[in-house]
């Protein structure tokens, strides 16, 4: 079992932690502890922090003054000022947050095995296997990472939209289907056989079986483009 990684959120906004906690827990396997910026000295030794999320410049300055060992990610800024290892604009999107966290602190391995011989580098955003490598977009890497972390559980469309795009559950959009359609075409061209990696079936989406012998259509679900996940499909 992977060791739980702890995030410290310093914020004066009581509504921020409930928004971020499911994103980092389900999407990255993190626990989140929230505290007010003035309480940083009291919680500094509570866990070996993977990273600190500072909500605003005042929270960042508290981190600097407390000389926290963990790297600091500044929320609500376009660029990282001195004292911060990274920055994210608000509202915070799940994919951007998870990508930023992957570049911070004593992270787990940058690469994960999606199938035998098929490796995902979610920070560098590429998928490699059989001596070939395919470059991924931020959203494509986030989709594959979330499916890997949720395995073997199928992931509903609403969950992926919420984790990767930050969409509310009732948003009507074909964004996910469009991205999966393009991803499958890209994988089919660059890593033949890997187009069947993401399987559609009862309960949502999941990763398919072994590669390169998974074959078009995967195991127990449909993976061929031009079906339910073609752009415009429901």
List, for residues 105-143, the tens digit of each pLDDT value. 444 456 788 888 888 887 678 899 888 999 988 888 888
- The C-alpha atoms of residue 40 and residue 52 are separated, in whole angstroms, by 10
Q: Identify the band that residue 213 occupies on the pLDDT scale cut at 50, 70 and 90.
A: very low
Say if residue 3 is exposed, middle or buried (CB neighbours under 10 Å; 0-12, 13-18, 19+). exposed
Give the predicted TM-score (pTM) of the model. 0.54
Q: Identify the band that residue 210 occupies on the pLDDT scale cut at 50, 70 and 90.
A: low
For the chain, give the longest Cα–Cα distance. Answer: 56
Q: What percent of the chain has pLDDT over 90?
A: 32
List, for residues 157-201, the tens digit of each pLDDT value. 988 887 787 777 778 899 999 999 999 999 999 998 888 899 998
Task: Select from 206, 200, 189, 190 the least CA-distant residue to 223.
Answer: 200
Cite the beta strand spans of the chain per DSSP E: 5-10, 30-35, 51-55, 72-75, 86-88, 111-115, 118-121, 126-129, 132-135, 198-201, 204-207
Domains by residue range for the chain, with CATH = 5-102 (3.40.50.2300), 115-207 (1.10.10.10)
Predicted pLDDT at 180? 94
- The C-alpha atoms of residue 227 and residue 204 are separated, in whole angstroms, by 14
Residue 225: partners with Cβ closer than 8 Å, 6 or more residues away:
181, 184, 185, 188, 195
User: Are residues 119 and 148 in contact, defined by beta-carbon separation less than 8 angstroms?
Assistant: no
List, for residues 8-20, the tens digit of each pLDDT value. 999 999 999 999 9
């Amino acid at each position: 079992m992977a060791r739980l990684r702890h995030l410290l959120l310093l914020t004066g906004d009581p509504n921020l932690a409930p928004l971020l906690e499911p994103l980092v827990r389900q999407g990255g396997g993190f626990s989140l502890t929230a505290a007010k910026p003035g309480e940083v000295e009291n919680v500094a030794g509570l866990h070996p922090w993977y990273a600190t999320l500072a909500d605003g410049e005042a929270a960042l300055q508290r981190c600097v003054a407390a000389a926290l060992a963990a790297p600091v990610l500044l929320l609500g800024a376009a660029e990282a000022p001195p004292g911060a290892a990274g920055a994210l604009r608000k509202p915070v999107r799940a994919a951007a947050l998870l990508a930023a966290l992957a570049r911070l602190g004593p992270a787990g391995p940058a690469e994960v095995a999606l199938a035998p011989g098929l490796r995902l580098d979610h920070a560098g955003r590429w998928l490699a296997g059989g001596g070939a490598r395919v470059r991924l977009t931020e959203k494509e890497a986030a989709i594959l990472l979330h499916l890997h972390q949720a395995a073997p559980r199928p992931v509903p469309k609403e969950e992926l939209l919420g984790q990767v795009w930050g969409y509310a559950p009732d948003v009507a959009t074909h964004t996910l289907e469009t991205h999966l359609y393009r991803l499958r075409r890209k994988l089919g061209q660059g890593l033949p056989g890997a187009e069947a990696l993401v399987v559609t079936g009862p309960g949502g989406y999941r990763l398919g079986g072994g590669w390169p012998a998974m074959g078009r259509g995967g195991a127990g679900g449909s993976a061929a483009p031009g079906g339910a996940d073609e752009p415009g499909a429901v």
